[in-house]
Amino acid sequence: MIRSQALRFVYPGGATLVFPDVMVAPGTVLLLSGPSGCGKSTWLALVAALVAPTDGQLEVAGQLLGVLKPAAADAWRARTIGFLPQKLHLSAALTVYQNLAMAQWAAGVPENAARIEQALASLGVAELAARLPAQLSGGQAQRVALARAVLLQPALILADEPTASLDDVAAADAVALLLATAQTQGATLVIATHDARVARLIPPKPDGQNGFEPLFLKGQ
């Protein structure tokens, strides 16, 4: 699902980030961790084709990134990636339903009310469809943002610091929700975090093996 080799990204006039090689199989839960400033957000941006590698190879869901023109990268991202950002970016003026409809519109697919209702229902927030984001609790808003992220049934879900500023109960809920959603959809899941609780919240596989693969970025 994700394969990188000698991946490097240089911010113009800024940091040079060198990333370890990875080979992530489909269906994996990848835990991307490391200290503040080590490059987690940049790695996510590379994998989502929001920025192009400076050097090296990066292949995601069978697509070699860095060769795509911006419009093609946008279309590929809409088809392939479900992004749960740290700041949820729900449009304040739109209802929950309209926020999801806008995601379909932005991806160039026809509005599909049944799919929107199904995505909201699968995250237990169907009854909130007519509310505005300001009328949601933090946990409800995160569920809505996750429903939006998986609306187009992406092969890869990227979650950026999904437990930041959550108490233990809410953090456990957020991680369980991500794992269940990825499993139901058959998606690969990347959780970027510097929250040590997240690793403890991912249960081992039935065979006793670790439930996630670690990718630790040391920073430069």
Ligand X SMILES: Nc1ncnc2c1ncn2[C@@H]1O[C@H](COP(=O)(O)OP(=O)(O)OP(=O)(O)O)[C@@H](O)[C@H]1O
Between 147 and 217, name the residue whose CB sits nearer to ligand X.
Answer: 217
Q: Which region among 13-21, 48-56, 96-104, 162-170 touches ligand X (by CB under 6 A)?
A: 13-21
Q: According to the binding rule CB under 6 A, does residue 38 interact with ligand X?
A: yes
Please state the φ and ψ torsions of residue 118, each to the nearest 5 degrees.
-65, -40
- Piece of the chain touching ligand X by CB under 6 A; list 7-15, 62-70, 127-135, 148-156: 7-15
Say which amino acid occupies 44. L
39 touching ligand X, by CB under 6 A: yes
Tell me, what DSSP letter sits at residue 5? E
Which residues are within 8 A (CB) of 161 and not within 5 positions of it... i.e. 6 or more apart? Answer: 86, 192, 193, 194, 195
DSSP-derived pairing of the beta strands 213-216 and 188-192 = unpaired
Rounded to whole angstroms, how far apart are CA atoms 158 and 84? Answer: 6
Q: Which residue in 79, 115, 131, 194 binds ligand X (CB under 6 A)?
A: 194
Q: Would you count residue 163 as binding ligand X (CB under 6 A)? A: no
Q: What is the DSSP code (8-state) at residue 157?
A: E
**Using CB under 6 A as the criterion, what x/- string covers residues 110-129 for binding ligand X?**
--------------------
Q: From CA 11, how far away is CA 9, in angstroms rounded?
A: 7
> Shortest Cβ distance from residue 202 to ligand X (Å)?
19
* Residue whose CB is less far from ligand X, 26 or 219: 219
Residue whose token pair is 């729900």: 90
Applying CB under 6 A, does 40 fall inside the site for ligand X? yes
Residues making contact with ligand X (CB under 6 A):
11, 14-15, 17, 34, 36-42, 194
